[in-house]
Chain A
Amino acid sequence: MKKSSFWLIYLLLVIAQLILGNYACFTPYVLVTLLPVMVLCIPLQMGTVGAMLVAFVTGLAVDFLTEAVPGLNALALVPVAFSRRWVVGLVFGGELFARKEDFSVRRNGLGKVLTACALSTALFLVVYVWADAAGTRPFLFNLARFGASLPVNLLLSLLVLEYLAPDSRK
């Protein structure tokens, strides 16, 4: 995928996240977010520092343009960017870095891609739910929120992967 088209789709997905954040609040137990998978899909050629800066700006933009507490998405998204190369290395091995390629469902398999998405989303949710609750909600509520949000967001991640990590031979 060309760089310019990636960032255009990325921007459109941020707008989609703004709409979700403002209008898709059905229950306090489910947090709908596309952000962790979007950050995971940032091209590997971009270093960790660059990915963290993109994640921070994205998080802040979503925070300020939705009803979230400013800083909350940024706080949860930066660790996803920080651990991105580690997650990719853990799930897909070092080959991707050697070939300077990005992952895709067709090349690497849905299972592996979803595992990477699950790790990043779980990290995001842990930080987000913990910081959002700020010690005011019981642990069981936080656990239920995490447990309910993870599968929902994994389903949504398929959509994000379709646009941000397409196979070049398709």
Chain B
Amino acid sequence: MGATVTTANNNEKTWGGGEDIQPLGASYGKMMMWFFIVSDALTFSGFLAAYGFSRFKFIETWPLADEVFTHFPFMHGVSAPMYYVALMTFILIFSSVTMVLAVDAGHQLKKTKVAIYMFLTIIGGFIFVGSQAWEWKNFIKGEYGAVETSGGSLLQFVDKDGKRVALADFAVKLPEQREALTRSHSAWFMEDAQSQPNYTVAEVQAGFKAHPELLIRTEQLTSKKKKTVLTREESESRLGTAKYVVEGANLTRNEYGSKLFADFFFFITGFHGFHVFSGVIINIIIFFNVLLGTYEKRRSYEMVEKVGLYWHFVDLVWVFVFTVFYLV
């Protein structure tokens, strides 16, 4: 700051980041953390607004979150929408509470208390990142599978009662289908761009023909916010246009519906998870500084307060991601 060109001798008006003058009543570090948070908040808003843009664009075909995020640990096959992500939200809010308790203890210069609360915050952060990894695993693996038509829309399979049916439950194994080309079977540069799905289109079509009770569900939402189920004749003709078998999710296509849905899911929750992870790393650094007594010597735990701001911001972003992705 000393190199800043000033035309008059107004040194007492030029802020060098010192303690004597404090614009907005905040120290240099704290104010810069607020500046960073403002810019980062706008980055996340940009992502979420872009998500809203795409969702408005495909408002009649957007996947229903309740049908996508239905897993809960140790409850295999049970459809439990919302519960897992609610648990994740509580974990993050609780780690925010321990963080603010650490800041509070820092104000009273209680080193041990600060260390304990920082440690709990770090644990909470790790649990959250782990939960997100588990959520991603389920999302990528998928549950039922679907087919994509040559026109780019997605067809899912249901039984007479409208319950989803997995491809594995009806697709037949045809003998002549080709195996995926992998590096181990050829030269290192020769492999399929994406791993082959477990079934081919022909196998799904044959299986569908053999099971007359099956119907096809399109992406189109009805006025009751349910997916449209076609009649058996319509289903057969629609399945004739199938081009790909889609299992799980990747950045190109996903079995849940709109391609952009998975892209935004990966990008926004991934970017948020990256923030949580870097927050945990920063918390660990500050935790060790607390243990070493760095802030005790300074007689100020302001550093804990600054990482606290960042950590709460991560929680704040999650509150919005939670609403936009899972509730609305």
Chains A and B are bound partners: no
Mark A residues whose CB is within 8 Å of B. Answer: none
